[in-house]
Structure 1
Amino acid sequence: MAPHQHSDRTSPFASMSGESLPVWAVTKADLDRGHFDKTALAWAQSAGFKAAEGSLLLVPNRYGKLAGALFGLGEAGRTHPFAAGRLARLLPEGDWHIETSPMPGEQMALAFAMGAYRFDAYRTGSPNGARIVIPGDADAAAVERTNAAVSLARDLINTPANDMGPAKLEAAFRALARHYKAKVTVTAGDELLAGDLPMIHAVGRAAAEAPRLLELRWGKKSAPKITLVGKGVCFDTGGLDIKPSSGMLLMKKDMGGAANVMGLALMIMDAGLPVSLRVLVPAVENSISADAFRPGDVLRSRKGLSVQIDNTDAEGRLVLADALALACEEEPDLIIDMATLTGAARVALGPDLPPFYTDDEALAGEIAAAALDVADPVWRLPLYRPYETMLETKIADLTNAPAGGFAGSITAALFLKRFVEPGISWAHFDIFGWNPKEQPHAQVGGEAQAIRALFAVLSDRYPAG
């Protein structure tokens, strides 16, 4: 069973063997055709229920007791793929099952579970909610696994930085590894210098908690090598190029890349994919003290390239660069990195559509197809080589913050590409990791992005036995 970050959270799933009430999920066309429970249909007609997407109508029996619920899916073919997430917030407490729906039962159950998520670690008296029976024709293990991964990523991102600094992120990392009997190695503090990870050390050395590189290994060494790299900046002040106060309000989420690769790793290990998995998370806080790295500094990287610091708020790419260089030394079959890297990506594509970058055309096609199949949207942006000139600087091999502000997400991806060895399949995801407004399957707060699509790609490439 896949773990949850908050183990005391009530499960959104009910047992198939218990008693539960029916939910009739219907489109407007279904309502017109009336191909479901006649009593529920008659009640819907009497109550003026129109099956608008996200609407709920409780259905009584002849004695006035609750007999079920009608849930609207709106126009057929135009329904939000996870519309059923609203059910978790609308249904009365108790156990329910999907009696009828034009949408697949597995999709309905996952939507319900994601919609039931609450981050209540700091609240008292949180009530229990409705629970759903996973339909018998659904893959219950897959639904529970995916929900656990999404919940883990959300929990980690939502936890404030006073309780999710580098040490606490390490503790969560170790807990995940322990659950799946994976091996963990941590390189911390001045060990980073001895281990030739100088940029991770430089970014995190000003904080009260030592910077560190977290490493997880799982699976047979002889299996295909998959390496995940996640940006673990537990809080980002901007460093000496300090952010305004408004810019810091969500900076607890700057470890969203780490949270998401941990969620993806959970799915890989829980499904038992036949791969040799390696997860690298540079966990730091970009803080301010007398020891902080400065604008104008030139840092040496693990790869040997020198980097001029033109903005200390462009720190994520620095810690990722050392981790990517380390990842390449084993010549893995695939490297995936995830990071809450640039505001430019949000300007271009908004909060819900993360861009990804790769030179591997086959991989790009697989990711795009999987994103559509599992309703986990991503969009490919180009590694446009002429923009590499923006990374040039007079006294170092490259700058961490090109002047002018143009193509910020692309130039960040091109910066990272300089630390990936030619010939290694690599994909970079510039995620937001946050829902700025409520969605059917998600409340405002931390979010898992792209990991369901990536797991679909990996499980197709490397199916579990």
Structure 2
Amino acid sequence: MIIDALNFLDIPAGLAADASLSLPLFATRPSSWVEDLTHLPVNAASQATLHGFSGEAGQILLIPGAKGELSAAVIGMGTGPVFSAFGVAAAALPASSLWHIAANEIPTQEAELGFLLGAYRYQTLKAKKPNFARLTRASDQSRIIAGAIHLTRELINTPANLLGPSELADFAMSLAARFGAAAERVRGETLTTRFPTIHAVGAGSNRAPEAVIFQWRGSKAQDDAPLVSLCGKGVCFDTGGYNLKPGSAMRLMRKDMGGAAITLGLASAIMSLDLNIRLELRIGCVENSVSGNAMRPSDILRTRAGLTVEVGDTDAEGRLVLCDLLHEACEAQPDWLIDVATLTGAARVALGPDIPALFCNNDDMAETILSAGQHSGDPLWRLPLHDGYAHWLETPFADLSNISAKPFAGAITAALFLQNFIPKQTRWAHADSYAWNDGTHPGKPEGGEAQTLRAFLTAITALAEGAKT
């Protein structure tokens, strides 16, 4: 069932499997709709008058043919983004209808992506499935990005009883096999030795922790091509451990593997597009549970880096999953090191659910990522790695505590914790993401969301295009 998420890479939701006959889908704005309609079927203007259509966002004008059959449609874009206008189309157009985008003077890829992303719903466990309109064609770029985002959403939306550490690792291995990546699965005593903090986080669950590592390179990538290393937090369910979460905070904790899902989706897009880079990916697959074997507050762990960490709070487990992965990733001296995690509630307090926090130790890298986020409609906001708060992680009993001694700046202190495992010369970016849509919006259905995927893909594409081939 979970492996079926790979099917989105072939046919994303909202795209017809065959090249059937389709109807033209046009678009217009309030400032130009009168002129635009003169270039459409002869009865378009009269239909607009009849139905009060004026090109406002959310309006859809269905145009009948000579015999009353549906012959075309026009989407009102208002003054907003093309993505948002087309993001409602799949659900708003007649069920099962087939379309191709015929709008002039708009970015077609943005329209295609909005349509396809708006067509996704989590359907795996529902008897009654939506029967949305579909496109009969889309560019390779739109298809690949939509497929990667749908894959990510599907993983995040899958409940924890069906997607535990082993199943998440299974999926990562299947993804690697699909693209011929060299993959390694780490578990048991090998995991305990190689990634001791991942083992500690997962020790309380009867579903054993695992890690997956894979390496891939583009078909034109030489040995000096940029090495991009991705690390993802894959906590398949987070009870909080002995520092138990309240029920209201636990309800969405299937999404606590969102960082791993996003990095897997990002990797799938990189490999599908055959970018001119060398790629490494690491995910830690665990469940944070309560049992006699679980780590306790005040336990002291020795990390892969040799630093000791006092567990100040068992619910600050994500940084423990990441620190060993990041330390190993740095051994290959990547040009860019990127990690993604649903790490702190503090980032959501600061920026809300829609804007992930970006921490970066290199200004040029940060600017590339922020610019890519704005360009792709996938924004991040940079927060500081403020050294003045680093001493808040000190403890008399170990090299570090996994939580701050102060109740402030929780997203910053979490990033500062991770920075202890990154050599200063390594260009590193950390994204603290919500990975979820609390409600349905254009192109963004309620449920798991691949926040930062398009931003990082755009930035990595720019890095690849700047490399020698």
- Report the TM-score, using the length of structure 1 for normalisation: 0.94
Q: Which residue does the alignment assign to 2:279? A: 277
Q: Which residue does the alignment assign to 2:335? A: 333
Residue 381 of structure 1, CA deviation: 0.8
Residue 221 of structure 1, CA deviation: 7.6
Matched residues in 2 for 1:91 and 1:417: separation? 49
Q: Which residue does the alignment assign to 1:59? A: 63
Counterparts of 1:36-435 in structure 2, within 5 Å, are 36-37=39-40, 38-75=42-79, 78-79=80-81, 81-92=83-94, 93-134=96-137, 140-195=139-194, 197-219=195-217, 222=223, 223-435=225-437
Residue 7 of structure 1, CA deviation: 2.9
Matched residues in 1 for 2:232 and 2:91: separation? 32
Residue 102 of structure 1, CA deviation: 4.3
Residue 15 of structure 1, CA deviation: 7.7
Aligned 8 A contact 2:91 2:118 in 1: yes
Residue 171 of structure 1, CA deviation: 1.1
Residues 301-350 of structure 1: CA distance to partner in whole angstroms, max 9, x if unpaired? 11111111111000000110011111111111111000000000111111
Summarize the Cα distance change of 1:132–1:381 in structure 2 as closer, same or farther, 3 Å threshold. Answer: same
Matched residues in 1 for 2:390 and 2:277: separation? 34
Matched residues in 2 for 1:221 and 1:199: separation? 34
Matched residues in 2 for 1:366 and 1:256: separation? 23
Matched residues in 1 for 2:457 and 2:309: separation? 34
Aligned residue pair count = 456
Residues 381-429 of structure 1: CA distance to partner in whole angstroms, max 9, x if unpaired? 1111101111111111111111332000011001000111110010000
Aligned 8 A contact 1:105 1:134 in 2: no
Aligned 8 A contact 2:169 2:211 in 1: no
In structure 2, the residue corresponding to 1:153 is in which secondary structure? helix
Matched residues in 2 for 1:281 and 1:440: separation? 30
Identical counterparts, % of pairs: 42
Matched residues in 2 for 1:299 and 1:359: separation? 26
Residue 79 of structure 1, CA deviation: 3.5
In structure 1, the residue corresponding to 2:5 is in which secondary structure? coil
Residue 16 of structure 1, CA deviation: 9.1
Matched residues in 2 for 1:460 and 1:221: separation? 17
Residue 51 of structure 1, CA deviation: 2.0
Residue 71 of structure 1, CA deviation: 1.2
Matched residues in 1 for 2:300 and 2:20: separation? 64
Q: Which moved more, 1:345-354 or 1:98-107?
A: 98-107
Matched residues in 2 for 1:6 and 1:364: separation? 31
Q: Which moved more, 1:360-369 or 1:4-13?
A: 4-13
Q: Which moved more, 1:50-59 or 1:142-151?
A: 50-59
Equivalent position amino acid for 1:66 in 2: L
Matched residues in 2 for 1:87 and 1:302: separation? 49
In structure 2, the residue corresponding to 1:231 is in which secondary structure? strand
Residues 131-160 of structure 1: CA distance to partner in whole angstroms, max 9, x if unpaired? 11446xxxx111111011101110000000
Aligned 8 A contact 2:373 2:379 in 1: yes
Aligned 8 A contact 1:305 1:397 in 2: yes
Residues 54-101 of structure 1: CA distance to partner in whole angstroms, max 9, x if unpaired? 2212221232221211211113xx336332010010111221122225
| Structure 1 spans left out of the alignment, 5+ residues | none
In structure 1, the residue corresponding to 2:329 is in which secondary structure? helix
Matched residues in 2 for 1:184 and 1:143: separation? 27
Equivalent position amino acid for 2:446 in 1: V
Q: Which moved more, 1:215-224 or 1:331-340?
A: 215-224
In structure 2, the residue corresponding to 1:344 is in which secondary structure? helix
Residue 274 of structure 1, CA deviation: 2.1
Matched residues in 1 for 2:165 and 2:322: separation? 15
Q: CA RMSD in A?
A: 1.9
Matched residues in 1 for 2:12 and 2:271: separation? 23
Aligned 8 A contact 1:4 1:148 in 2: no
Equivalent position amino acid for 2:111 in 1: M
Matched residues in 2 for 1:310 and 1:174: separation? 34
Residue 11 of structure 1, CA deviation: 4.7
Equivalent position amino acid for 1:215 in 2: I
Aligned 8 A contact 2:6 2:175 in 1: no
Equivalent position amino acid for 1:211 in 2: P
Residues 199-249 of structure 1: CA distance to partner in whole angstroms, max 9, x if unpaired? 111100111111111111112682322110000001000000000111110
Equivalent position amino acid for 2:144 in 1: R
In structure 1, the residue corresponding to 2:301 is in which secondary structure? strand
Counterparts of 1:24-39 in structure 2, within 5 Å, are 24-34=26-36, 35-37=38-40, 38-39=42-43
Aligned 8 A contact 2:90 2:134 in 1: yes
Equivalent position amino acid for 1:48 in 2: G
Aligned 8 A contact 1:367 1:454 in 2: yes
Matched residues in 2 for 1:62 and 1:134: separation? 26
Summarize the Cα distance change of 1:312–1:16 in structure 2 as closer, same or farther, 3 Å threshold. Answer: closer
Matched residues in 1 for 2:419 and 2:445: separation? 34
In structure 2, the residue corresponding to 1:67 is in which secondary structure? strand
- Report the TM-score, using the length of structure 2 for normalisation: 0.93
Equivalent position amino acid for 1:243 in 2: K
Equivalent position amino acid for 2:55 in 1: A
| Structure 2 spans left out of the alignment, 5+ residues | none
Residue 50 of structure 1, CA deviation: 2.4
Matched residues in 1 for 2:257 and 2:199: separation? 16
Q: Which moved more, 1:212-221 or 1:155-164?
A: 212-221
Q: Which residue does the alignment assign to 1:7? A: 7
Q: Which moved more, 1:31-40 or 1:286-295?
A: 31-40
Equivalent position amino acid for 2:296 in 1: R
Summarize the Cα distance change of 1:372–1:202 in structure 2 as closer, same or farther, 3 Å threshold. Answer: same
In structure 1, the residue corresponding to 2:309 is in which secondary structure? strand
In structure 2, the residue corresponding to 1:161 is in which secondary structure? coil
